[in-house]
Structure 1
Amino acid sequence: MAKPTDPRTLAVTILAKVAAQGSYANLTLDATLRQHDLSPRDTALVTNLVYGVIQHALTLDYYLKPFVKDRKLDPWVHALLQTAVYQMVYLDKIPLHAIFYESTAIAKRMGNVGIGKFVTAVLRNLQRSQRPDLTKLQPAAYRMSIMYSIPEWLVAKMIEQVGATKAEAIFATVDRPAAASLRVNTTKITPDQLLAELKQTLPDVAVSALTPVGLVAPGGHLAGLLAFAAGEFTIQDESSMLVAPSLEVQPGDQVLDACAAPGGKTTHIAQYLDAAEGGQVTALDLHPHKVQLITANAKRLGLADRVTAMAMDAREAADTFAPGSFDKVLVDAPCSGLGLIRRKPEIRYDKDPESIAKLPEIQFEILDAVASLVKPNGRLTYSTCTMVEEENQAVVARFLSAHPEFSAVAVPTLTPVKAHGAPALQLFPDDYGTDGFFIASLVRN
Structure 2
Amino acid sequence: MAERQPGKNRDGKDRKGRLSGQGGERRSFSRPGGESRTRSERAAGEGRGHGQRAKGPSSGAAPGSRIKDHRPAGGASFDGRPSRFGKGKEERGRGEGSRFGGAKRGFSRGGDKRDDKRGFGDRDGRAGDRRSSQGADRREGSKGGFKGRPDRGSKGSDRASRPAGASSNRPDRARSFDGGSKPRRFGGAKGKAAPKDHVRKAFVPRNKKAFNERQIARLVDDTAGIYRGELDPKLGQRTKIAPGRNTREKLEELREVEREKRAEEKKGGAPNTNEDGTVRFYKNAASPARLAALQVTRIVRMREAYAQEVIETVVDSSDMSEADRAFATLLSLGVVSTYGVLDEVINRALDRPADAFSDVRDALRISTYELIFLGKQPHAAIDQGVELVRAISPSAHGLGNAILHRIERMRGEFPFGDPNTDLDALARVYAFPKWMTRRLVEDMGAKDAATFLRVSNDPAPLFIAVNALKATDGEVIEAFAAHDAVLTPALANGVAVAGCFHVSNPRVLAEASIARLFEDGKILVSDASAQLIASRVLGDEKPASVLEVGAGRGTKTILIQSDAQRRFGSQVDLTSVDLHEFKMDLLRDRARAYGAELSDALVGNATRLETVLGDRAFETVLVDAPCSGLGTLRRHPEIRWRINKENIDAVGDISFAMLCSAAEHVKEGGRLVFSTCTVTYDENTGMVKRFLESPAGSRFALAPIDGAPCISTKLDEGSPDAHFAACFVRKG
Which among 354, 366, 372 is matched to residue 658 of structure 2? Answer: 366
> Percent of pairs identical after alignment?
26
Which amino acid is 2:620 matched to? K
1:23-80 deviations in whole A, cap 9, x for unaligned? 4433444444488544444333332221111112344345545433533211222221
CA distance in 1, matches of 2:422, 2:456: 18
Mapped pair 1:404 → 2:698: yes
> How far apart are residue 202 of structure 1 and its match?
5.7
CA distance in 1, matches of 2:358, 2:581: 34
Corresponding residue of 2:97: none
Corresponding residue of 2:365: 82
Against the structure 1 CA distance between its residues 131 and 277, is the aligned structure 2 distance closer, same or farther, given a 3 Å change threshold? closer
> How far apart are residue 3 of structure 1 and its match?
6.3
Which amino acid is 1:337 matched to? G
Mapped pair 1:52 → 2:346: no
Root-mean-square deviation (Å): 2.9
- Pairing 1:16-415 to 2, within 5 Å after superposition: 16-33=298-315, 37-61=319-343, 63-72=345-354, 73-91=356-374, 96-113=378-395, 115-128=396-409, 131-132=412-413, 134=415, 136-137=418-419, 139-201=421-483, 203-210=485-492, 211-218=497-504, 220=506, 222=509, 225-249=515-539, 250-251=541-542, 253-273=544-564, 279-303=572-596, 305-306=597-598, 308-321=600-613, 323=615, 325-401=617-693, 402=695, 403-412=697-706
Asked if the contact 2:485–2:505 (Cα under 8 Å) also holds between the matched residues in 1, the reply is no
1:194-240 deviations in whole A, cap 9, x for unaligned? 23322333624321112232112245264862211121211111111
Corresponding residue of 1:433: 719
CA distance in 2, matches of 1:277, 1:195: 23
Asked if the contact 1:273–1:306 (Cα under 8 Å) also holds between the matched residues in 2, the reply is no
> How far apart are residue 328 of structure 1 and its match?
0.7
Which amino acid is 2:561 matched to? A
Q: Secondary structure of the equivalent of 1:213? A: strand
Against the structure 1 CA distance between its residues 3 and 213, is the aligned structure 2 distance closer, same or farther, given a 3 Å change threshold? farther
CA distance in 1, matches of 2:670, 2:464: 29
**Gapped regions of structure 1 (runs ≥ 5):** 414-421
TM-score, normalisation: structure 2: 0.55
CA distance in 1, matches of 2:570, 2:364: 61
> How far apart are residue 378 of structure 1 and its match?
1.1
CA distance in 1, matches of 2:409, 2:486: 42
Against the structure 1 CA distance between its residues 282 and 99, is the aligned structure 2 distance closer, same or farther, given a 3 Å change threshold? same
Count of residues paired in the alignment: 434
Q: Secondary structure of the equivalent of 1:439? A: strand
> How far apart are residue 81 of structure 1 and its match?
1.7
CA distance in 1, matches of 2:552, 2:353: 43
Asked if the contact 1:19–1:75 (Cα under 8 Å) also holds between the matched residues in 2, the reply is no
Q: Secondary structure of the equivalent of 1:271? A: helix
> How far apart are residue 349 of structure 1 and its match?
0.6
CA distance in 2, matches of 1:163, 1:382: 24
Against the structure 1 CA distance between its residues 128 and 396, is the aligned structure 2 distance closer, same or farther, given a 3 Å change threshold? closer
Asked if the contact 1:2–1:106 (Cα under 8 Å) also holds between the matched residues in 2, the reply is no
Say which structure, 1 or 2, has more relative contact order (CA 8 Å, 6+ apart).
1
1:84-129 deviations in whole A, cap 9, x for unaligned? 132334556x76544333322232332235x222322333344455
Q: As a proportion of its length, which structure holds more strand?
A: 1
> How far apart are residue 152 of structure 1 and its match?
0.8
Asked if the contact 2:283–2:390 (Cα under 8 Å) also holds between the matched residues in 1, the reply is no
CA distance in 1, matches of 2:481, 2:529: 23
CA distance in 1, matches of 2:591, 2:314: 29
CA distance in 2, matches of 1:121, 1:182: 47
> How far apart are residue 263 of structure 1 and its match?
0.8
Name whichever of 380-389 and 43-52 sits farther off.
43-52
1:118-148 deviations in whole A, cap 9, x for unaligned? 3223333444556235472474321221011
1:332-370 deviations in whole A, cap 9, x for unaligned? 011111211121111001110111111222111111112
Asked if the contact 1:184–1:213 (Cα under 8 Å) also holds between the matched residues in 2, the reply is yes
Q: Secondary structure of the equivalent of 2:671? A: strand
Asked if the contact 1:270–1:307 (Cα under 8 Å) also holds between the matched residues in 2, the reply is no
Corresponding residue of 1:418: none
Asked if the contact 1:288–1:311 (Cα under 8 Å) also holds between the matched residues in 2, the reply is yes
